[in-house]
Structure 1
Amino acid sequence: MKPRVIEDENGRRRATSACEKPCPIEDGMKILGGKWTGSILWHLQYGPVRFNDLSRMIAAASKKMITERLRHLEAQGVVTREIINSSPISVEYSLTERGKTALLFLDELRKWTESIEPELYGS
């Protein structure tokens, strides 16, 4: 439901009705809005990645944080986790079909960020 917005006598805009339930943006952000989530999905786009490799790809994030995000994404059906019976045993993550659909707007985010980088970094 789109909230109705009106202007008061001072020209300020305000909503007159609220959504009855969380809007789709809020619901989507509950799934994908966590710190490092976009980076994790982006690095999984080309195929399965072992946990330690993913951890090296996102060096600024702690292993604990990556683990938390991966567990959340797995619970949401966005990534799958597979135990590899090698020596030593390792874990590999990949995108589900649902997860792959997020790449569309992550690529748009990448393009948008690249378009404003001169403004962000003063170049």
Structure 2
Amino acid sequence: MDARVEEDGTGRRQAYNVCLEPCAIERGMRIIGGKWTGSILWHLKDGPVRFNDLSRMIGGASKKMISERLRQLETQGLITRTVMETAPVSVHYEITELGRTALGFLDELRKWSESLPEGLTTS
């Protein structure tokens, strides 16, 4: 919903069409907006990935952080975790159909980010 602020007849500012908590954007950002969450889903789009391979794909994220995000995504139903009874034991992660529904806008985000001017900072 588009929010706007206008002055009322007494000169006070009044907000209209306020996004109620949690609005759709806020809810979506709470689910997918965590650091590394989008990257994890993106790297799982082509099929199951072992934990160590995933941690190598996501430069800059600690294994602890990746592990926390994976647990969160699994709880939310966006990925599945499979323990392979091999020697040594291997754990694979795979995106679910629900998780795949995020890939469209993640791809749009990727395209948008690639179109930004050089030198635009992220800080």
Q: TM-score, normalised by structure 1?
A: 0.85
- What residue is the counterpart of 1:38 in the other structure? 38
- Give the superposition deviation at 1:6: 3.8
Alignment check: 8 A CA contact 1:83 1:92 kept: yes
Q: Percent identity?
A: 62
CA 1:14/1:66 → structure 2, altered by over 3 Å: closer, same or farther? farther
Distance 1:6 1:18, change over 3 A: closer
| Aligned partner of residue 86 in structure 2, secondary structure | coil
- For 2:20 and 2:120, the matched residues in 1 are separated by 37
Look up the SS of the partner of 2:87 in the other structure.
coil
Indicate the residue corresponding to 2:69 in structure 1: 69
Structure 1: gaps spanning 5 or more residues: none
Higher helix share: 1
Displacement of 1:118: 2.3
Aligned equivalents of 2:69, 2:21: Cα separation in 1: 25
What is the letter of the counterpart of residue 86 of structure 1?
A: T
Q: Which residue is 2:22 aligned to?
A: 22
Q: CA 1:117–1:46 in 2, change beyond 3 Å: closer, same or farther?
A: farther
Q: How many residues align?
A: 119
- The alpha-carbon deviation at position 111 of structure 1 amounts to 0.4
Aligned mates of 1:42, 1:13 — CA distance in 2:
42
**How far did residue 13 of structure 1 move?**
7.0
RMSD: 2.3
How far does the alpha carbon of each residue in 1:61-114 deviate from its partner, in whole angstroms, 9 at most, with x for none?
Answer: 000000000000000000000001111001100000010010000000000001
Equivalent pair of 2:80/2:96 in contact (CA under 8 Å): yes
- Cross-structure match for 1:8: 7
Q: How much does 1:25 deviate?
A: 1.1
